[in-house]
Chains A and B, each alone.
Chain A
Amino acid sequence: MHKLERKTYSISFAIPWLLIYGIFFVLPTLFSFYYAFTDWDLTSAKFSGFSNFVEMFNNPVFSTALANTAIFTILSIVLKVGVSLALAMALYHCIASNFFRTIFFSPYVLSYIAIGVLFTAIMHPEIGVLNKALRAIGLDFLALNWLIEKGQVIYSLVFIDVWKSAGFHLAIFIAALQTIPSDMMESASIDGAGPWKKFRYITFPMLASAFNANVIFALIVGLTKFDLVFVTTGGGPGYYSEVLKTLVYKQFAMGRYGLATAGELIIFVIVITLTVTMRKFLDKREVEV
């Protein structure tokens, strides 16, 4: 009974925000899916069945955007989680760790717009700081056409996204590291466990929930990435960095609101399906670990 009262009490604080969120975001989003089945020009909507979905799937750029989104998402999950975990382990006990945590977290507070503009200048093939620096130290062969070469552009975008977001994932890992009881580590040390064994059998299992949260965050962000791509490359050159969200935006800009909504619904289904599947897989693994 006491437990039930506490639950009700805490929910009451959330109700006003849930209502606002529900009325101004969830409901319109769900209702708008009706328009995915119409030719909608903002004043009238003519029912068109599945034609918008057929048109979206038949769009020659759709498969490119889907593949780019997949590459972007998979690589960004692996790198964000991997890099931030490594940084968390390195920074947890190091000297001036607070200073370094601040340094690594600081890109996260910048807007993607600012970062996009910044990296467009940094990665300029001829006058960009990156290539100039590489050439100055004799690494000319690494001075690539980062944002304009069809085979490289999506990887450059992944790099920028990882650079920006690693600090956020690092903060989650550090918070989780702080919850690991020190006596466990001490007893493991007494039992003769080395750093790798302590990481493998104590730290990593204790970080499982933080690891899962980071993977899910990175998955959703990767699948719905728009701002960075839009500002940095606009989906180009050609369509070599087009992702699902930028493709949908272009249908919206063309005045095909029903078609754009159909695209959003497709992304919604992909995100929900992958998130639920990944969540189930990770939860199962967490129990096993």
Chain B
Amino acid sequence: MSKVIRTALFSLSAAALVAATACGGNNASPSGSTATSPAGSSEPAGSANTGKKVTISHAVGGDSPSRDVWMKAIGEAVGVELDIQVLPLEQMEQIYKVKAGTNDLPDLISYHPGARTRDDLQAKDKLIDLSDMPIVQNILDDIKPYYVEQDGKVYGVPGQALKFGGIAYNKKAFTEAGVSIPQSLDELFAVSEKLKAAGKVPLYLSAKDSWTLQIPGLAAFSYDQLQSPGILDKINTNQATFKDAAHFIEAFDTMKKMVDQGYVNSDYLSATYTNGLQAISEGKAGMYPVLTSAFSTILDTMPDLINDVGFFPWPVEGDKTVTVWPPMIYGIPQSSKNADAVKKYIEFFASSEGQKIYFDTLPAAGVPAYKGVELDESKLLDPVKEMIEVTKTAKQFATVDFSVVANMGAFGQTVQEILMGQKSGADLAAELSDILAKNAKAKGAPGF
């Protein structure tokens, strides 16, 4: 097949994929755009000669009024306008991959860090190296490996706060039941029994949004990394599999035991993430496995209840770990015509002033991803205080699905099967190992 025909085939097929992706819209917010209003006193970035403001295009998953506020404020400070395309949250990844494939990435990229940026967006060929930006030195050391490549190149820097995976709990419910934060799985069951006796749903599960079911296992995998050093590297080179991840497997079997013992809401197969957030905020439920980004949503929707909730990592006896979801990157495609303006935007975002705007607007966002950012302790919300405490006492590992050699896919449906008694945690581990091996082989990863 000649090169011309190949190119034509690819272009047409990519166009079909874009169309297919666009047509698969669902209940997420529709695409739309917002633009910042003209800046106040700031000098427009990269446009001093023309007097016209540069407009930076940006695409981001899910609607968020708070995000629009702080992005607008930072845009005004730097003197740029933002044209934000809101992507349906559950299709954000596919749309970004297609945009990368068709050289249609926005000026300012927001995407998952590490291997996901490297592979999905073909970072080496498509993104600008940001290693010369001074802010790279300020990225927290624990998460730096997800932003700085082995060859020193940087294709994206943190564009959010650190968030964690673990369990949100309702403090009032805990007080009412006379329990404290469990430190082991045995204690988790003991706490659940007391919460149940106090008339609470001990552990809320929202299987209708099946991604939420993945959180306990992903959170527990940190203990596998802590207790079996190098397990992730071995998985990535096909010398180990998820079948060797005992805590990962145990987390899902624990969820099933909780269901069997009546510690989970009876409508767990119908319950949604929104139901879960409401139940944990209002104290109808005692515990709910979440990512800490949930606290921003609670702050947006039920601000009066934000300090009633707290956070603790998945409880396993012994030394503690917590699973980090490294912040989404801010990156710039090589095709961007506004790279200088975008760099200024990113530089300001990562500065103390920019981070102040960010955390003032989103006080429940999490923990700063940059060194030297001081948060006003008097303004810290309770769940954020607890997150910061956790980072001081627990070793941090990035979530495995950002770190594995190939996409391991969503596995929430298989967790549903576990909860329904059709499969076990070991079955899930075997399935995931098989999927990962096939995807790694298709990708040409060494060792598979």
Contact = CB atoms under 8 A, between A and B. Distances in A.
A117 B27 contact: yes
B270 A43 contact: no
B267 A126 contact: yes
B269 A255 contact: no
A236 B100 contact: no
Contacts of A238: 413-414, 416-417, 420, 422
Nearest to B413: A236
Interface residues of B, number: 48
B208 A120 contact: yes
B97 interface: yes
A168 interface: no
Interface residues of A, number: 51
A239 interface: yes
Contacts of B12: 27-28, 31-32
A178 to B, nearest CB: 34
Given A124-B267, A238-B416, A255-B120, A42 B98 contact: yes
A125 B267 contact: yes
A9 interface: no
Interface in A31-89: 31-32, 34-35, 39, 41-43, 45-46, 48, 55, 60
A237 to B, nearest CB: 5
Interface in B393-448: 407, 409-410, 413-414, 416-417, 420, 422, 431, 435, 438-439, 442-444
Nearest to A235: B413
Q: Which of B13, B25, B210, B438 has the most CB atoms of chain A within a 10 A radius of its CB?
A: B13
Q: Which of A28, A126, A231 has the most CB atoms of chain B within a 10 A radius of its CB?
A: A28
Q: Closest 9 A-B residue pairs measured CB to CB?
A: A42-B101, A28-B16, A238-B417, A148-B269, A28-B12, A32-B13, A254-B409, A39-B442, A31-B9
Interface of B: 8-10, 12-17, 19-20, 24-27, 93-94, 97-98, 100-101, 119-120, 122, 125, 207-208, 210, 266-267, 269-270, 407, 409-410, 413-414, 416-417, 420, 422, 431, 435, 438-439, 442-444
25 contacts: A28-B12, A29-B16, A31-B8, A31-B13, A39-B442, A41-B122, A42-B98, A42-B100, A42-B101, A117-B27, A124-B270, A126-B266, A127-B267, A150-B420, A227-B26, A234-B208, A236-B416, A237-B416, A238-B420, A239-B413, A249-B24, A254-B407, A254-B435, A255-B97, A259-B442
